[in-house]
Every structure is written in C-alpha cells, then in structure tokens.
Amino acid sequence: MTTVLYDLGLALLFTHELDAMTHSEWRLLFVLRSLPDESASWWFVVLHVPLFFLILWLSHVPHGRLRAVVRTGVAAFLVVHGALHFLLSSQDAYAFAGALSNGLIFGAGACGLAYLATRWSSARSGGSRPA
C-alpha cells in the first residue's frame, strides 16, 4: 500500500508541475520571480529535469534503506508543498484556484501524509520492510 501511495503522490506532483506551467508558478518562487517570464519559465522547466530524475532514480534504488529514506523525504515534501500552496494562496501572483489545480496539489499532500502515517504505523507495529 505504501508504494501505491508514494507513486500516486508522485504522479499528482508531476502532473501539478504541468499545471504549474499554465499558472506561471515561477512567479511565486524566490529566485525565479525576479527574472523575465521567458527566462523564468525556461529555468522552471529545465530545473525540473534533474530534480525529477533524482527523485525517480533514488526512490527506486535496490538498497532498501536508502529507498525508504528518500521516499520518506519526498512524502514529507509533498505535505510541506501542499502547506506552502495553502499559505501562498493569498498572494496576487497565485493562480491555482480550480478543482483540478487544488486536487493535484492537495491530493499529492494527502498521499504524502497517508504514506508517512502508513510507514509510521508499520514501524510502530514492528514492521521493518522498507518501501
């Protein structure tokens, strides 16, 4: 079940990033918002390539402990990412308002939270199988 929650959370996050392009999310990011839109959007897309590569590669390595640590970190990021979107929603540059955008953002956060809760519950009950 943890793998399903993790993979679904990633799918929602990655799809959110597609949606983020249509809403100019770089205008909310500290460094990129100071650049012209053409440059900022280019950097926004390009920087996601190594980021997504590392997430996918490290969260599927055969070494169970490393995989579990990475997945836990990514799941925690999904929760923090959702919280940041909630906190930024009052900004003028914030354009994520529809059901699709909110479903992707907060759905990913919910998957991250469920993943963490499942891992915590499993660890408390003596389960040691890394996900």
User: Is 129 within a domain?
Assistant: no
Q: Which two tokens stand for residue 13?
A: 């996050």
Per the structure, the complete domain to which residue 92 belongs is given by 2-124
Predicted confidence (pLDDT) per residue in 58-78, tens digit? 999 999 999 999 999 999 999
In a domain, 37, yes or no: yes
pLDDT of residue 128 exceeding 80: no
Query: How many structural domains comprise the chain?
Result: 1
96: left (phi over 0), alpha (psi -120 to 50) or beta: beta
How far is the C-alpha of 61 from the C-alpha of 9, rounded, in Å? 18
Whole-model pTM: value is 0.89
In a domain, 130, yes or no: no
Neighbours of 115 (CB within 10 A): 27
For residue 131, is it within any domain?
Answer: no
Decide if 27 is inside a domain.
yes
Q: In angstroms, rounded to a whole number, what is the distance separating the alpha carbons of residues 34 and 125?
A: 49
Q: Is residue 9 part of a domain?
A: yes
